Amino acid sequence: MDRSTSAGVRFLDRPGGRLAYSVRGEGPLVVCAPGVGDLGRRGFTALADRLVAAGHRVAVADPRGHGRSSADWPSHTESDVAGDLLALARHLGADRVTLVGSSFGGSAAVVAAATDPGLVRGLVLLGAFVRDQPRTPLDRAGTLLLSAPWLGRRVWTAFWGSLFGPRPPLDPGRVSKAAVRDSRAGAAPDGTGWRHRYNTGTGTSTPHRQEPPRSRLSSNGLPKHDLAERKRELAACLAEPGRMAALRAMLGSDHTAALAAVGQVRCPAVVVMGELDRDFADPAAEARFTADALGGAPTVLAPGAGHYPHATHPDLVAGAVLNVLDRARRPACRD
């Protein structure tokens, strides 16, 4: 059952709770899946703007326990969230959908793509976890701090703010060795919508995008006022009953399902990773692992970006999404 509000937020009833989502635009459907402890729909605004302008219908769902979705769900696994994504796509009447998943949302998108290959025809992973990462003593200490109601919110909000990247995006026109690489013998996936000029011999690209002046950027690559506003909004959301419990439940779950599913994905895919994503010991190596597990998908390393390249580098990520959408219109290439 779908319920709408005057603010443009819609609700889809699911077993165990109610899923909040927004949808706008016309054209092929793209469903975006935010990660854990993020702003949900809010974090995908810049990317959704670009995809709608390019002629696509874009839905963004608040994950279980986040944003406007209900707080108390019986379970918060990546398989649960995968089911939510598929249910939303079907509810919107799609016979094919491209999934864009960030972090934990990327884990769920992988499971969804393997579960229903007839529906999911394209996959874009943004800093996605497809396997468990080693936990350090600092990670374990942070998990304990998150259990303290008031302190936990402050700790998570501060940590979340650091995930956008420790420096602003690189200057337009700079060629980075970590810009764009294709794991399939260096052949650049040059499709409609890429905002790059590729050198197929080296597997690199020159970014062509406009960024805010450095004086107006925080050390995280976002406009200073925007980052501060986002942190206040996140802190207010996490203060609501049940929100921190949902965050802890997702952080405590494993990625066994995603690891088992990633080799079964058959649709066109691309792996986008911030080259300075602190959630991974070696972001480039993790991107290559994921790409290889997907059968040789192209990888995009966003220069200067952290865990949320769709927020700091929306033009680059929009290009990756449009490339997958273009390839998804062609006959399947994997048996």
Structural domain count of the chain: 1
Distance of CA 306 to the CA centre of its chain: 12
Q: What is the pLDDT of residues 74-131, one digit of tens each?
A: 999 999 999 999 999 999 999 999 999 999 999 999 999 999 999 999 999 999 999 9
Q: How far apart are the C-alpha atoms of 168 and 11, rounded to whole Å?
A: 36
Q: How far apart are the C-alpha atoms of 217 and 292, rounded to whole Å?
A: 35
Can you give the pLDDT at residue 263?
97
Whether 137 is in a domain gets the answer yes
Global pTM value: 0.81
Can you give the pLDDT at residue 301?
95
Can you give the pLDDT at residue 1?
53
Q: Say if residue 221's pLDDT is above 70.
A: no
**What average pLDDT does this structure show over 239-249?**
88
Q: What is the pLDDT of residues 9-18, one digit of tens each?
A: 999 999 999 9
Can you give the pLDDT at residue 225?
52
Whether 251 is in a domain gets the answer yes
Whether 334 is in a domain gets the answer no
Whether 335 is in a domain gets the answer no
Distance of CA 225 to the CA centre of its chain: 23
**What average pLDDT does this structure show over 268-295?**
96
User: In 3-state terms, what secondary structure has residue 195?
Assistant: coil
Can you give the pLDDT at residue 109?
98
Whether 320 is in a domain gets the answer yes
Q: Are 188 and 297 in contact (CB under 8 A)?
A: no
Q: How far is residue 103 from each of residues 107, 195, 217, 289, measured CA to CA in Å?
A: 7, 23, 24, 15
Q: Say if residue 330's pLDDT is above 90.
A: no
User: In 3-state terms, what secondary structure has residue 274?
Assistant: strand
Q: Say if residue 73's pLDDT is above 70.
A: yes
Q: How far apart are the C-alpha atoms of 117 and 84, rounded to whole Å?
A: 15
Q: Say if residue 194's pLDDT is above 50.
A: no
The residue among 172 and 49 whose pLDDT is bigger is 49
Q: What is the pLDDT of residues 131-183, one digit of tens each?
A: 998 877 777 777 777 887 778 888 878 887 888 875 433 333 332 333 333 32
Q: In percent, how much of the chain has pLDDT > 90?
A: 55
- CATH code assigned at 254: 3.40.50.1820
Dmax of the chain from CA atoms?
Answer: 54
Whether 238 is in a domain gets the answer yes
Q: What is the pLDDT of residues 305-320, one digit of tens each?
A: 999 999 889 999 999 9
Whether 123 is in a domain gets the answer yes
Mean pLDDT computed over every residue of the chain: 80
Residue 271, domain extent:
2-328
Helix (H) or strand (E) run with residue 106 in it = helix 104-115
The residue among 185 and 297 whose pLDDT is bigger is 297
Helix (H) or strand (E) run with residue 287 in it = helix 283-293
